[in-house]
Amino acid sequence: MNNRKLFSLVGLMLIMILVVSACGKSSMDKSKSDNSTGSNYDMGAPAAESELAYDSKPKTAEDGKSKDYGDAGGVSNTSVITTEETPAQAQDKIIRRFMLDVETQAFDSLITKIDSEIGRLGGYVENSKISGKPIYYNNEARYGSIVVRIPRDKVDEFVNVVKEEANVVNNQESTENVTLQYTDMESRKKSLEIEQERLFVLLEKAVTLENVITLESRLSEIRYELQNYETQLRTYDNLVEYSTVTLSIQEVERMTTVIEEKQSVGARIKNGFNDTIYNLSEGLKNFFVWFVVNVPYLLIWAVIIIIAVLIIRRYFKKKNRKSITPPSQGPNPPLI
């Protein structure tokens, strides 16, 4: 009998413990539910304001991550943006530049040929300047400076045509690889575009004027940065797709000898002697041309000089005559 009472007492205590624990758990769950639904309004702030917190710093190429505003506008730092490789990034971005100093005895023909090749190859003239007069008019030779843009796959053909048509005295070529700069700009531009889209979503949900102003300010900064990146990318694309060729064209009567190998003493003497004879002949021809052209001026000056000499000689003759005249004598003495 005692054992039965003992077991009954123990069972009753277990049942009471279970009932109390169940009630406590139900009360705690209800409290948590009430706190979670009303926490946004405890400080008197609307729910939309809590969604407007974001990091306005744009993603850089070194970070490799971007702030995730989430569907409701919240901030999440766990998403990683991975951009697929675009066709522009599949190959290196190489900028090629050429500088050619050339001489020609047929200036007009060379200019015509260059213009024809530019049109045939699909290029264009970026800058052009021609000065001077033809050699057969005076001793002043013509000079031309032309900056040409040629498609990168045809620029070698254009340079070879110039070398065939003129005497190249100086040839320089430079290349610049801008692949890293181009890829970095594309990455920054993509990050700013994603941030801009998310800011538009937040702007639609904004309630207070302060939040609207903050978002509009950041959107203005993003638009400005996007325009700069787009301009730089277009500039790079143009420089890569169209190589730059700078031509300095000099009209000459005699081509400059391009020495590719070291000359012997005899060859140097021969070339020097030929240069001396050429310079003397050119000097005599230039003097003869100058003399014939200036004959009228020389005749006028000759007449002026002759008249001046005659006047001076006449003046000195008169002066000499006066100095030679004998002095006058007094009256004769009377005869005795």
C-alpha span between 143 and 128 (Å, rounded): 11
Q: How confident is the model at residue 18 (pLDDT cuts 50, 70, 90)?
A: low
Q: How confident is the model at residue 15 (pLDDT cuts 50, 70, 90)?
A: low
Res 189 pLDDT > 90: yes
What pLDDT is stored for residue 277 in this prediction? Answer: 80
Please tell me the pTM assigned to this model. 0.56
Please compute the mean of the pLDDT values over residues 159-173 and round it to a whole number.
Answer: 93
Cα angle at 168 between 166 and 174, to 5 degrees? 125
Q: What residues does each domain of the chain span?
A: 51-86+180-241
What pLDDT is stored for residue 264 in this prediction? Answer: 78
C-alpha span between 292 and 275 (Å, rounded): 26
Give pairs for 216-224: CB < 8 Å, separation 24+: 218/56, 222/58, 222/192, 222/195, 222/196, 223/196
Higher pLDDT among residues 52 and 208, named by residue: 208
Name the average pLDDT for the chain.
76
What pLDDT is stored for residue 282 in this prediction? Answer: 72
- Give the rounded percent of residues in the chain with a pLDDT score beyond 90: 42
What pLDDT is stored for residue 320 in this prediction? Answer: 77
What pLDDT is stored for residue 59 in this prediction? Answer: 46
What residues contact residue 64 under an 8 Å CB cut-off, 6+ apart? 80, 81
Please compute the mean of the pLDDT values over residues 58-78 and round it to a whole number.
Answer: 40
Q: What is the DSSP string of 251-264?
A: E-SSPPP---SPPP
Res 64 pLDDT > 60: no
What pLDDT is stored for residue 126 in this prediction? Answer: 93
C-alpha span between 101 and 301 (Å, rounded): 44
Res 36 pLDDT > 90: no
What pLDDT digit, counting tens, does each position of 316-329 carry? 887 777 776 555 55
